């Protein structure tokens, strides 16, 4: 809750690294707290915090890393986050904000009911919570403290990494894998308890600018070009069934994340996602062809900027599948049923895997990320720390 209260929203419009200087407030805090535990930790010029707990045995045990990101999504406010704690939740709807009549309803989120009787941490209905991924940060920090207090747990070198800007796809663009010093790592950035993922979307971003022509509507005959109407036409040409609302599992999507317009000009931002590389490329081709069609129809008024973000890490993790198998066993040891599934999103682990650091993703325990209905059960966080410790023990064996 201390970490969640610090504003760390990343900024996709910024060219700096990190994209928001507010992220450094938490990154510095984490560095200092690690140092206070007696752990060697440092933060570089780009905001990456790297820490190392030395091996405490002469056995040859491979180093293992654990990584989480500190930034929160720009999709919702991360300012003045005020987490609420409901102990021994009775299974009824949770009033997040009585004044604004914002309620976390079990009828809308029935998955909540599996946590009846547990301690629920929610928002106050005005911001996101930040469990994505400050829950992962807290879990790694708890494990670090536990290892320092329990030297009887024999382990190889443990590497810890905290990154900025994951939510805008730039989390590890300047991450020094060689300096991090391990061949294998896990991101603690998944959702509900039991999630284990080693494949994710291929991802791209589309930025669109439409230049209209504003004429007094009384005299607009054959002259006015309304950029907002062209934007609506563009969106209508994309397949409706490939919107996030209608997709699941391995199904990809086009997602309109923002639109801002007048008659004179309109800007639109999309994210394009698919697990299958061929389908992903066809989605990008479709977006490009729609823009070409509209430019032919209206006269080169639409500009498209397609930006690659990350690839599906499956091909990079599968040759080292034992790290997935260790995570499965670690969950079973903790009494958690593994839920191996594709990530319907991305993690720092995707780009790290292509940078030579195979990096599956483990659950952090949260639900409803990026919005005011976000929540996390305390018990799920406790199980996440138990799983991390079990992985360390398994590598130690």
Q: Confirm if 212 and 226 have CB atoms less than 8 A apart.
A: yes
Pairwise CA distance, residues 143 & 387, whole Å? 10
Please pick, among 7, 23, 71, 167, the residue that the annotation labels catalytic.
71
Tokens of 164: 């900025």
- Beta carbons within 8 Å of 156's beta carbon, 6+ residues apart: 55, 57, 59, 60, 61, 62, 63, 64, 395, 396
| Domain residue ranges of the chain, discontinuous segments joined by + | 23-200+312-396, 204-310
Q: Please state the separation of Cα 335 from the chain's center in Å.
A: 26
Highest CATH level, class, for 23-200+312-396: alpha beta
pLDDT tens for each residue of the chain, 397 residues long: 999 999 999 998 899 999 999 999 999 999 999 999 999 999 999 999 999 999 999 899 999 999 999 999 999 999 999 999 999 999 999 999 999 999 999 999 999 999 999 999 999 999 999 999 999 999 999 999 999 999 999 999 999 999 999 998 889 999 999 999 999 999 999 999 999 999 989 999 999 999 999 999 999 999 999 999 999 999 999 999 999 999 998 999 999 999 999 999 999 999 999 999 999 999 999 999 999 999 999 999 999 999 988 889 999 999 999 999 999 999 999 999 999 988 887 778 888 999 999 999 999 999 999 999 999 999 999 999 999 999 999 999 8
**Active-site residue 12, yes or no?**
no
Pairwise CA distance, residues 325 & 41, whole Å? 30
Q: pTM (2 decimals)?
A: 0.85
What CATH number labels 204-310? 3.30.70.360
**Active-site residue 90, yes or no?**
no
Pairwise CA distance, residues 105 & 333, whole Å? 33
Please pick, among 139, 166, 199, 374, the residue that the annotation labels catalytic.
166
């Amino acid at each position: 809750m201390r970490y969640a209260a610090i504003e760390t929203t990343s900024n996709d419009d910024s060219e700096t690294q990190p994209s928001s200087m507010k992220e450094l407030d938490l990154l510095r805090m984490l560095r200092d707290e690690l140092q206070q535990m007696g752990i060697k930790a440092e933060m570089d010029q780009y905001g990456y915090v790297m820490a190392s707990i030395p091996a405490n045995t002469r056995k040859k045990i491979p180093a293992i890393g654990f990584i989480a990101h500190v930034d929160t999504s720009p999709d919702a406010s991360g300012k003045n986050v005020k987490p609420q704690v409901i102990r021994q939740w009775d299974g009824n709807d949770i009033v997040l904000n009585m004044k604004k009549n914002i309620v976390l309803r079990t009828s809308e989120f029935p998955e909540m009911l599996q946590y009846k009787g547990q301690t629920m941490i929610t928002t106050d209905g005005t911001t996101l919570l930040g469990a994505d991924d400050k829950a992962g940060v807290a879990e790694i920090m708890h494990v670090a403290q536990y290892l320092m207090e329990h030297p009887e747990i024999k382990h190889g070198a443990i590497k810890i990494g905290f990154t900025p800007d994951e939510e805008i796809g730039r989390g590890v663009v300047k991450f020094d894998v060689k300096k991090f010093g391990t061949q294998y790592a896990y991101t603690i950035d998944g959702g509900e308890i039991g999630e284990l993922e080693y494949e994710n979307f291929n991802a791209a971003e589309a930025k669109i600018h439409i230049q209209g022509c504003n004429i007094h509507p009384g005299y607009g005959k054959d002259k006015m070009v309304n950029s907002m109407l062209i934007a609506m036409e563009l969106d209508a040409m994309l397949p409706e069934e490939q919107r996030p609302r209608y997709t699941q599992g391995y199904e990809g999507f086009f997602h309109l994340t923002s639109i801002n317009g007048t008659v004179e000009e309109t800007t639109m931002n999309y994210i394009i996602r698919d697990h299958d590389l061929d389908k992903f490329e066809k989605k990008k081709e479709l977006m490009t062809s729609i823009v070409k069609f509209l430019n032919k129809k209206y006269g080169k008024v639409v500009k498209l900027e397609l930006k690659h973000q990350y690839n599906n890490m499956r091909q990079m993790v599968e040759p080292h599948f034992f790290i997935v198998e260790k995570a499965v066993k670690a969950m079973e040891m903790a009494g958690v049923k593994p839920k191996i599934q594709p990530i319907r999103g991305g993690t720092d682990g995707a780009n790290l895997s292509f940078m030579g650091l195979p990096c599956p993703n483990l659950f952090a325990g949260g639900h409803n990320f990026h919005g005011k209905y976000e929540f996390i059960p305390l018990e799920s966080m406790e199980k996440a720390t138990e799983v991390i410790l079990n992985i360390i023990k398994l590598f130690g064996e």
